[in-house]
Amino acid sequence: MRRDAREMAFKIIFEGFFNENPYNESLLAEMKDKDVEFTKAIVEQYEKNKGSIEESVKKTLKKYKLDRVYKIDLALVYEAITEIEYIKTPAPVAINEVLEIAKVYSTEDSPKFLNGILSAYLKGDKEEC
């Protein structure tokens, strides 16, 4: 199931905030082959493009600094933007998936917050966000 792959990608991105080498093959051992490949694709694209993803989020968060955003929510935003921009997942699908993951791992208000950030990102001119 793709949600399992997305959830694992989110966990790896989140772990990367605290550990320089978050990617561990043993994490993927119990996943289905298709899920493993999708997880790897998301994580690899995130790693390749994290500088530009972070800059896009900084420009989108006009009233906040990155260090004020819960790390869980930040990892979910990064995962969604990676999927939308580099995996070419349709935006509504990527957003819905991270909102569902947020309901499990983050605060009650996180889905609303994440939806706002991702909507602002999508509406913004790519030069500005």
- Give the model's pLDDT for residue 67: 86
Domain extent at residue 103: 2-123
- Tally the domains of the chain: 1
Q: Let me know if residue 128 belongs to a domain.
A: no
The rounded distance, in Å, linking the Cα atoms of 85 and 60 is 15
- Give the model's pLDDT for residue 20: 79
- Give the model's pLDDT for residue 127: 38
Would you put residue 88 in left (φ > 0), alpha (ψ -120 to 50) or beta? left
Q: Let me know if residue 86 belongs to a domain.
A: yes
Per residue in 57-78, pLDDT (tens digit) is 999 987 778 889 999 999 999 9
Q: Let me know if residue 40 belongs to a domain.
A: yes
Q: Which residues of the chain have pLDDT under 70?
A: 1, 22-27, 29, 125-129
Q: pTM for the complete prediction?
A: 0.89
Which DSSP category does 30 fall into? T
- Give the model's pLDDT for residue 23: 66
Q: Let me know if residue 129 belongs to a domain.
A: no
- Give the model's pLDDT for residue 26: 67
- Give the model's pLDDT for residue 102: 97
CATH number of domain containing 48? 1.10.940.10
Handedness of CA 32, 83, 93, 54 (dihedral sign): positive
- Give the model's pLDDT for residue 128: 39
